[in-house]
Amino acid sequence: MTCLCVLTWGLAPAALGAEQVETFDGGEFTNPFFRHDLEFKECCWRIINEDGEWKLHLEPNTDLITFDLPEGDKVFAVSVDVEDFEGGFVGNRPTSAVIVRAASGDFALLLAEQIGQRTRLEADVNTPGRLTGEPLGEIVSLSFSAANEGNNVIPEKFGANFDNIRVVTVGGVPCEAVRRLKGRCGPSGKLTAKVKLSSRDHDGRTLTIGIDGEPIELSIAGRKAKHRTCCLEGPVELTLIAPDACVEPVNVTCG
């Protein structure tokens, strides 16, 4: 009988700008950031030790939802180490997946590079979504899926292993606290970007802007966060990444 089970984890609030890591050391969940429901423990997954390394193993044809982020801190980037042993239906190309879902409803589908080869899979708010091709924006959930196809490369292996789950959180500033995003750039190419807030309540926290898509984390001082950089040329787009979609992009011309 085919086993299909789902395990749901929630996230406790994290420190701003923190990197949370789960390595399964000692054969258990080690980071309280990843809370989990063990109802399906005997069904479709287990924590194993291979060559001195602890890993999360999923049986074939299993989906595992690893987190669903509540309101509060925003997920900026995720990464997972994957060893996939399923891909027989497509010429031994790996088919087990890491699925990164965004608040927009779009998602990224990440696959290992080669059967049985450990691969680091990564995504962040700028990763193109599979549905629209646009940047994902705020990440809200991360799912693992082990396919059910077997392989001819390492036939004694099955399912998929996952390790070193990393989640980077940023933000923590609500949209309603952001008043405006401003920018200017002169003939010398010196760019100044500024985010103004409605109060000093978020002093010392961080937010993230984008300069032509490149994320820049800023510290808030009082009621504003400011960034300066030099020697740009041509049109430049400024965006607010975290918190996401609070204000319209600002376009300036440098040089």
* Residues 220, 120 share a domain: no
Domain termination site, one of 136, 151, 171: 171
* 135 is a domain residue: yes
* 1 is a domain residue: no
pLDDT at 239: 95
CATH of residue 53's domain is 2.60.120
Residue 73: which pLDDT band, with cuts at 50, 70 and 90?
low
Tens digits of residue pLDDT in 146-167: 999 888 889 999 999 999 998 8
* 96 is a domain residue: yes
**Token pair listed for 5:** 């089970």
* Residues 108, 222 share a domain: no
Q: Can you spell out the DSSP letters for 58-125?
A: E-TTEEEEEEE--SSEEEEEEEEEEEE---GGGTT----EEEEEETTS-EEEEE-SSTT--EEEEEET
By the 8 A CB rule, do 216 and 209 touch?
A: yes
CATH of residue 218's domain is 2.60.40.10
Strand 139-146 to strand 97-102: parallel, antiparallel, or no bridges (unpaired)?
antiparallel
Is the bond preceding 243 in cis, omega lying within 30 degrees of 0?
Answer: yes
Q: Which single residue is written with the structure tokens 């008043």?
A: 179
- Positive or negative, the CA dihedral 30, 34, 35, 36 is negative
Taking the C-alpha atoms of residue 197 and residue 242, their distance in angstroms, rounded to an integer, is: 13
Q: Which tops the pLDDT comparison, 64 or 214?
A: 214
* 99 is a domain residue: yes
Taking the C-alpha atoms of residue 167 and residue 165, their distance in angstroms, rounded to an integer, is: 7
Number of C-alpha atoms within 13 angstroms, CB side, residue 194? 11
Q: Can you spell out the DSSP letters for 201-240?
A: TTTT-EEEEEETTEEEEEE-BTTEEEEEE----EEEEEEE
- Positive or negative, the CA dihedral 166, 102, 193, 211 is positive
* Residues 179, 100 share a domain: no
Mean pLDDT of the residues in the chain: 83
* Residues 137, 21 share a domain: yes
* 3 is a domain residue: no
* Residues 80, 198 share a domain: no
pLDDT at 91: 77
* Residues 195, 136 share a domain: no
Q: What is the CA radius of gyration of the chain?
A: 21
Taking the C-alpha atoms of residue 141 and residue 139, their distance in angstroms, rounded to an integer, is: 6
For 1, residues 6+ apart whose C-beta sits below 8 A from its C-beta are none
Angstrom CA distances, 223 to 88, 180, 215, stand at 57, 11, 21
Domain termination site, one of 171, 193, 215: 171
* Residues 141, 25 share a domain: yes
Taking 90 as the threshold, does the pLDDT of residue 96 lie above it?
yes
Judged by DSSP in three states, 38 sits in helix
* Residues 43, 135 share a domain: yes
pLDDT at 2: 27
* Residues 205, 92 share a domain: no
* Torsion angle in degrees (nearest 10) through CA of 155, 156, 157, 159: 80
The residue segments making up the domain with residue 74 are 9-171
Residue 89: which pLDDT band, with cuts at 50, 70 and 90?
confident
* 84 is a domain residue: yes
Domain termination site, one of 152, 171, 190: 171
pLDDT at 16: 38
Backbone φ/ψ region at 30: left (φ over 0), alpha (ψ -120 to 50), beta? alpha
pLDDT at 10: 34
- Report the number of distinct structural domains present in the chain: 2
Instruction: Please compute the mean of the pLDDT values over residues 81-108 and round it to a whole number.
Output: 90
* Residues 167, 185 share a domain: no
Instruction: Please compute the mean of the pLDDT values over residues 181-193 and round it to a whole number.
Output: 95
Taking the C-alpha atoms of residue 124 and residue 19, their distance in angstroms, rounded to an integer, is: 13
* Residues 182, 153 share a domain: no
Taking 90 as the threshold, does the pLDDT of residue 142 lie above it?
no
* 201 is a domain residue: yes
Residue 209: which pLDDT band, with cuts at 50, 70 and 90?
very high
**Token pair listed for 243:** 């918190």
Residue 139's Cα: distance from chain center in Å? 6
* Residues 155, 92 share a domain: yes
